[in-house]
Structure 1
């Protein structure tokens, strides 16, 4: 008996192995759907996929029908009964329901596979709120995200319209992209007013000028930006502002004062070092809000101001003399370098010598820092790098149509820059040295473990 059973048992075992080796595919469909797809596939064999995704193609019709069925299911859940059940039984007899279906209306849905028309059901109380594609939304989140991404990377609205038409076959009007981006305004406003950390050790403030259309015409308009290093050692864009028309389009210290007050209102209680250019009144604006902050003028801006009154043939030699001042390792060496500047150029350019004599006191704290901290704060290069990324996006536009449009575009780019910076696994390579030195210079204003807890990760 056992010998006769043995072959049969072995055969079953082999079948089991085959089943395990060739399992049923996980994405198989019910038989009716599978047969329908086979018929479509036979007709589409040997043709590009784009042929099947045409407006009148079967796959496009399936997408539209799927959305319509989802609408119907949502309506059933909303009303609490299925189709053709308008009346309900009660003790006194049969009574018509309070809210019933009221036909449907056509809606053009724009997807990554093109545009398709669907029927949206209505109810008599007009209380139905569809979820799969909400009211007044004729575009899917996927396409909308791609449009916003192209807009934030510098493509103009006209180029995006053409690109969307070429890629998806979606017919659009000139205001299509603008309306998509405008819908993001509540989210962008929340980001611009988000709470910030209570302390930023090193902050850079500067303005970028863009051509913006105002009621009085197109003018180069100052966009105020402030960024700084947070506790983890990553550069963060803290704020982005454009002054109202009554403040004028030029950069002003009075509006910077308003910016700093708003920064304080968002939770920033202290700034240690503020690096900025030589805008008149800016240092006083910083001191009015953050009196303990050390104002560090940008030496590159000071040097550029000097070159404005210097002959072109003398700029290279003068730059070498100025470099010896701001790159000096100690204040004594800086004074020696300044004496050399006075001796070599005082007779030819007395205004330059007088300018650096006045600013020598303002730069005094620079020579008390170590090499890494001094290299970080003696110029506004970090915010200039942010400006470079913003110009890359705005250079393709002749002028922004209005202030709100300019602010939206800059905010989208700033959010992308921040996200890219925060995704870095490590901060600057010299951040450990800088944090330790900040504790030496500002130990009474820094919490004991500030910055150090991030260095061990």
Structure 2
């Protein structure tokens, strides 16, 4: 490493301190140090100190030009030395480039974590004394594009995922000068190490068979193998796409959604005991026990005409709602509903509410993808759901 020894002009430093407020003193000191550092770099390049003559000189001095440098304390203006042939370059800007990068990443982190671009603008002004436009902050988020894209397209063939959870939530996006609703498709999973993972996401038009089919095709194209169980709500297009793309995979209807649908079909009053008996069906451990509880429920309430609709719905959706019971008992609490995915959706909503309306589909993919990446990193720090159990075991 090259070492430079130089003396600062103390008169210049004293004048800067005396004529500046305390907020600018540090900037003045740094400017003097960096300017002198670059001057010594030029002397070293020329192989001759200032105000001396030598036959070994490499080039001639050619004045200065001004250039700004953004540091943690704010923006400073430096006098950069030049040489006649233009071959001299200073290391100052390369060395301090990471400060600009850290500054940019800090703004990106604020946006991803749900801070509005307006608030980011105010924070930057307060910390650095610099004004930046909202459009400038927004443009910085484009730096996330290659990072999110790489994560969203990573291979999935290095691990087997026996249980996959899928859902879609709606967001608002500007498109052709209108605000439209679009669906954000999300897939999470439990792997063979009993760990949760985020598999992927997609922003597309509203839920449909074609959209879900394309989403599953992308996952399979990245190497995803057919799981044992896919857990979701009862969207008809989603169910059809699962049957088409994952032959041999069972579909588990989310029991939380299913019970809510059944309760909504009941009368509003005097249903406390009925709800408790309904809950007992899904507290069963085996399909046989659940089926027996279901038959008792139907026998007990078949004479109540107000529950005819509830009983029909129960019989129609019962088999799809107890598929998790065919899996090892230790998994039951984790795979009978999409509750884990609902919690992730809430986290996405918390960030999305700050933005409210995405300027375009790509911005929605970029920022929500960054949120999912952050969530995925958090999952890696958690312990497995349990140990010493394997999917498919007894």
Mark yes or no: TM-score above 0.5.
yes
Secondary structure of 1:190's counterpart equals helix
Counterpart of 2:144? 184
1:219–1:322 distance in 2 versus 1, CA, 3 Å:
farther
Q: Deviations over 1:205-234 (max 9, x none)?
A: 011222222226223321011111233332
Q: Does 1:212 align with 2:176?
A: no
Judge conservation of contact 1:109–1:118 (CA < 8 Å) in 2: yes
Counterpart of 1:61? 28
Q: Which moved more, 1:303-312 or 1:401-410?
A: 303-312
Q: Does 1:297 align with 2:250?
A: no
Q: Which moved more, 1:215-224 or 1:170-179?
A: 215-224
1:128–1:222 distance in 2 versus 1, CA, 3 Å:
farther
Equivalent runs, 1:177-326 vs 2, <5 Å: 177-196=137-156, 197-215=158-176, 217-243=178-204, 248=205, 250-313=206-269, 316-326=272-282
Q: Does 1:371 align with 2:329?
A: yes
Counterpart of 2:52? none
Secondary structure of 2:388's counterpart equals helix
The partner residue of 1:388 within 346, 362, 366 is: 346
The partner residue of 2:101 within 132, 141, 144 is: 141
Counterpart of 1:173? 133
Q: How far apart, CA to CA, are the structure 2 residues paired with 1:353 and 1:233?
A: 36
Q: Deviations over 1:103-160 (max 9, x none)?
A: 76544333221122235678999999987647xx897122222212211211100011
The partner residue of 2:112 within 147, 152, 175 is: 152
Judge conservation of contact 1:108–1:138 (CA < 8 Å) in 2: no
Q: Does 1:427 align with 2:384?
A: yes
Judge conservation of contact 1:235–1:421 (CA < 8 Å) in 2: yes
Judge conservation of contact 1:133–1:140 (CA < 8 Å) in 2: no
Structure scoring higher RCO (CA < 8 A, sep ≥ 6) equals 2
Q: How far apart, CA to CA, are the structure 2 residues paired with 1:126 and 1:182?
A: 34
Q: How far apart, CA to CA, are the structure 2 residues paired with 1:160 and 1:391?
A: 19
Judge conservation of contact 1:107–1:138 (CA < 8 Å) in 2: no
1:74–1:319 distance in 2 versus 1, CA, 3 Å:
farther
**RMSD over aligned Cα, in angstroms?**
3.9
1:83–1:335 distance in 2 versus 1, CA, 3 Å:
farther
Q: Deviations over 1:286-313 (max 9, x none)?
A: 2322213221111111122233433333
1:32–1:288 distance in 2 versus 1, CA, 3 Å:
same
Secondary structure of 2:180's counterpart equals strand
Secondary structure of 1:312's counterpart equals coil
Secondary structure of 2:162's counterpart equals strand
5+ residue gaps, structure 2, are 50-54
Judge conservation of contact 2:166–2:230 (CA < 8 Å) in 1: yes
**CA displacement at 1:420 relative to structure 2:** 1.4
Q: Deviations over 1:77-121 (max 9, x none)?
A: 9xx86799xxxx9xxxxxx99xx9987654433322112223567
Secondary structure of 1:181's counterpart equals helix
1:372–1:201 distance in 2 versus 1, CA, 3 Å:
same
Q: How far apart, CA to CA, are the structure 2 residues paired with 1:146 and 1:227?
A: 28
The partner residue of 1:336 within 292, 300, 305 is: 292
- Normalization by structure 2: what TM-score? 0.81
1:73–1:36 distance in 2 versus 1, CA, 3 Å:
closer
**CA displacement at 1:357 relative to structure 2:** 0.8
Q: In the comparison of the two structures, how many residue pairs are matched?
A: 379
Judge conservation of contact 1:367–1:374 (CA < 8 Å) in 2: yes
Secondary structure of 1:281's counterpart equals helix
**CA displacement at 1:74 relative to structure 2:** 8.9
Q: Does 1:401 align with 2:354?
A: no
Q: How far apart, CA to CA, are the structure 2 residues paired with 1:164 and 1:277?
A: 43
1:356–1:101 distance in 2 versus 1, CA, 3 Å:
farther
**CA displacement at 1:330 relative to structure 2:** 2.5
Counterpart of 1:360? 318
1:326–1:113 distance in 2 versus 1, CA, 3 Å:
same
Judge conservation of contact 2:171–2:183 (CA < 8 Å) in 1: yes
